[in-house]
Structure 1
């Protein structure tokens, strides 16, 4: 009876986490949409300014542009209103999205998430993605300890992958005992990481964002590369010097979690 109750609680928690992840993705879509709308509004403002200053411009054209701008502002406001309170996602994730789509305060332009990353990502900057990737792999390797190949596994699809690996490929029958075992391993690890500030609704999409935008190291650094990748102080300095200021806090937290997992499993900081 206790086992059934535990299974029910864990399944309920997994469903809740899946729902929160869907809500976070929805919020990201809304934020990107609003950024695009604001960029359009800025272009409308620039066009209106040109109308005011351009000699020989017909008043009717300026008037029409003004009307178009007012209509655009109205549409923007309606778009904002329609998306308000769409999700109960935590404020800190919303803050992360807003921060990650801007460069430092001294820069003038507003970029998308992808545009914030340099067109050519150098070695030290790739280390940012490598750190995030290493933590993700460490977590997945811990949860799916008996599986060497983790292709297609991400922190965002852990519940689905637990069900997948617990299902017999021929009969389609789910091994409930094994699924419960994996679910408990994942829940225990997330609870342990939470004491360092790790949040299951924030940091899995955050690390995925970092890996997708910065990439990972193409090869293992040599002894003479000047990159001491198994030195936490070196990696911390890389984050401080190379990462956008508004991403540094969560990147440093990711490094802290990785260091603590290293202490836990007695393996090198970066695994190859």
Structure 2
């Protein structure tokens, strides 16, 4: 055997011995872990037995078991509180609905619900409910578009589009930005005042249209000096009409419309109902 073969054999045996040594170390480590684990388990069992013995004589639960029971009870309590928070009572739910209508989403939901649930059997006097909504509609439009006598096609829902339309020259298509800004500011200022009275731009323009479409308006205007004209221009009479004739789902928002109409009439020193 030459020198090169001898070196190769020695290197091979050395590598084999290294692998065996690594394997033995791994087995030894596992044995040590097994011994430590057995000792810990025995110690734990002894402690638990001693704890149970002491508690059985003293009538108390072991600290570990007491802590476990407390944690379990607290967990169940927390779960129960969470369920209570997520599922309100009918009274709390009603309160929540009443407060959440301040937001646009709740307003639209409630309005759509009232549309679906409210049956309409309109009688002659009930048309006055539609007239109140119509009068506020015309009052707002007349206030914003003071320079326009004919408001055919103008609605509360298309005010922004109409502002742009009347500010644009019909032939050249040039926008009068100054006039457009003027109308936009008038609209914004009026909405701020009405918002303070409960009017919501996300809800009441559509609500007004809904009321007019379902109740209609007065077929005949009352005589100027008649008792009927006096009643129709009396806020207390109209309020009583809403409370006695309107469905429950619509009363609050109809009262908002009436309040806004009274405020605008007081501001321009004119009767509630204009013909």
What is the aligned partner in structure 1 of residue 253 from structure 2?
A: 250
Contact 1:117 1:213 in 2 (8 A): yes
Whole-angstrom distance in 2 between the partners of 1:242 and 1:206: 17
Contact 1:136 1:155 in 2 (8 A): yes
| TM superposition shift of 1:243 | 0.8
Whole-angstrom distance in 1 between the partners of 2:263 and 2:230: 21
Give the TM-score normalised by structure 2.
Answer: 0.60
1:94 aligned onto 2:97? no
| TM superposition shift of 1:201 | 0.4
Question: Which stretches of structure 1, 4 residues or longer, exceed 4 Å deviation after superposition?
Answer: 224-227
Contact 2:135 2:273 in 1 (8 A): yes
Distance 1:254 1:89, change over 3 A: closer
Contact 2:130 2:212 in 1 (8 A): yes
Contact 2:235 2:262 in 1 (8 A): yes
Give the TM-score normalised by structure 1.
Answer: 0.60
SS for the counterpart of 1:186 is: helix
What is the aligned partner in structure 1 of residue 169 from structure 2?
A: 168
Max radius of gyration: which structure? Answer: 2
Contact 1:135 1:254 in 2 (8 A): yes
Distance 1:98 1:227, change over 3 A: farther
Q: Which has the higher helix share?
A: 2
User: Which sections of structure 2, spanning at least 5 residues, go unmatched?
Assistant: 1-102
| TM superposition shift of 1:92 | 2.2
Spell out, residue by residue over 1:169-208, the C-alpha distance to the aligned partner (whole angstroms, 9 max, x if none): 1111110000000001000100111000100000000000
1:269 aligned onto 2:260? no
SS for the counterpart of 2:231 is: coil
1:147 aligned onto 2:162? no
What is the aligned partner in structure 2 of residue 70 from structure 1?
A: none
Whole-angstrom distance in 2 between the partners of 1:195 and 1:168: 35
Distance 1:95 1:210, change over 3 A: same
Spell out, residue by residue over 1:246-272, the C-alpha distance to the aligned partner (whole angstroms, 9 max, x if none): 100000110001000111111111000
| TM superposition shift of 1:99 | 2.3
Aligned length: 171
Spell out, residue by residue over 1:212-232, the C-alpha distance to the aligned partner (whole angstroms, 9 max, x if none): 010000111231548711000
SS for the counterpart of 1:228 is: helix
* C-alpha RMSD of matched pairs (Å): 1.5
SS for the counterpart of 1:188 is: helix
1:182 aligned onto 2:197? no
Contact 1:100 1:246 in 2 (8 A): no
Whole-angstrom distance in 1 between the partners of 2:228 and 2:274: 17
User: Which sections of structure 1, spanning at least 5 residues, go unmatched?
Assistant: 1-87, 104-115
Distance 1:194 1:239, change over 3 A: same
What is the aligned partner in structure 2 of residue 229 from structure 1?
A: 232
